[in-house]
Amino acid sequence: MVKAGQRSRGRMISPSTMLMVRQLHTYFGAFVAPSVLFFAFTGSLQLFSLHEAHGAYTPPAIVEMLSRVHKDQALHAKPKPAPKGGDVEESPGRKHHPAPAKAAPEPPPWPVMALKWFFLAVAIGLMTSTLFGLWMALTFSRRKAVVLALFAVGAVAPVLLVAL
């Protein structure tokens, strides 16, 4: 790790440059933190299909809504397109056969489940790291009001854009 005032590949990194880089990192981090937390959380729900109804499970409405924002950037479900052939009228000699009942889906193979659990651990780590970063920004920054304002803008702007 190169410290302020040390050489990095033959060049000096001045303390003022390092201070500026740390300050920009703090500000960018505060601004994107709400989105990072949102996507890590909603993505972890989607890993295990907790946003979709299956079997006897019905997801809470808030989980479905947050999933739509994550996947489609919209609060409400998009209308499904009409079938390509349109409504096909049955001819008199044609019998209608109901669709066969779907069998219970097979569980995914163990490498897929291991990957899902790994990504859940990554999502938890990302949320934890982001929260620690916010705590550090608010603890060590001289301009706490700027950090809070950037965090608020980073949280409110996407909500307003989705609501439009």
Q: Is 35 helix (H, G, I), strand (E, B) or coil?
A: helix
Q: What pLDDT is attached to residue 79?
A: 66
Q: Is 9 helix (H, G, I), strand (E, B) or coil?
A: coil
Give the whole-angstrom CA distance, residue 54 versus residue 11. 59
Q: What pLDDT is attached to residue 80?
A: 65
Residue ranges of the chain with pLDDT lower than 50?
none
Give the whole-angstrom CA distance, residue 147 versus residue 31. 8
Length of the chain as a residue count: 164
Run of H or E including 34:
helix 15-47
Q: What pLDDT is attached to residue 146?
A: 96
Give the whole-angstrom CA distance, residue 155 versus residue 82. 36
Q: Specify burial of residue 158 (Cβ count, 10 A radius: 0-12, 13-18, 19+).
A: middle
Give the whole-angstrom CA distance, residue 49 versus residue 146. 38
Whether 113 and 27 have beta carbons less than 8 Å apart is answered as no
Give the whole-angstrom CA distance, residue 117 versus residue 120. 5
**What are 112's two structure tokens?**
């897929």
C-alpha torsion 154→59→75→134, nearest 10: 0
**What are 15's two structure tokens?**
């303390």
